[in-house]
Amino acid sequence: MRQLMHEIAAVAEGLRAAGATEIVAVDAHNGGNHFIPELMVAGVRYLTGMPRPGTFHGLDAAAALQKSRQSCHSGNPLVP
């Protein structure tokens, strides 16, 4: 989970550099309790826990697409 938190931090940094004004990180796997509080990035909104109305509830299409892409690549040895 530490790697996940480092990846969220890197994505948040890139999004801010690109002009994002709101960043939301969603933990939608196995109960949604994988974020490590002491590694959370200030200014990022974290959605954790279940139940929720849907995996990407409250996110726009671009945000949901980014999350879907990340999930598909997670743990795949064929994807750099």
pLDDT tens for residues 23-62?
888 887 777 788 889 999 999 988 887 776 666 666 665 5
Does the pTM surpass 0.75? The reply is no
Strands 44-47 and 23-26: parallel
How many other CB atoms are there within 10 angstroms of residue 25's CB atom? 21
Of 16, 15, 28, which Cα lies nearest the Cα of 57?
A: 28
The Cα 65–Cα 22 span in angstroms is 16
pLDDT at 42: 94
Query: What pLDDT sits at residue 41?
Result: 93
Residue 69 has pLDDT above 50, yes or no: no
- Which residues are 45's β-sheet partners? 24
Structure tokens that stand for 58 in this block: 């409250």
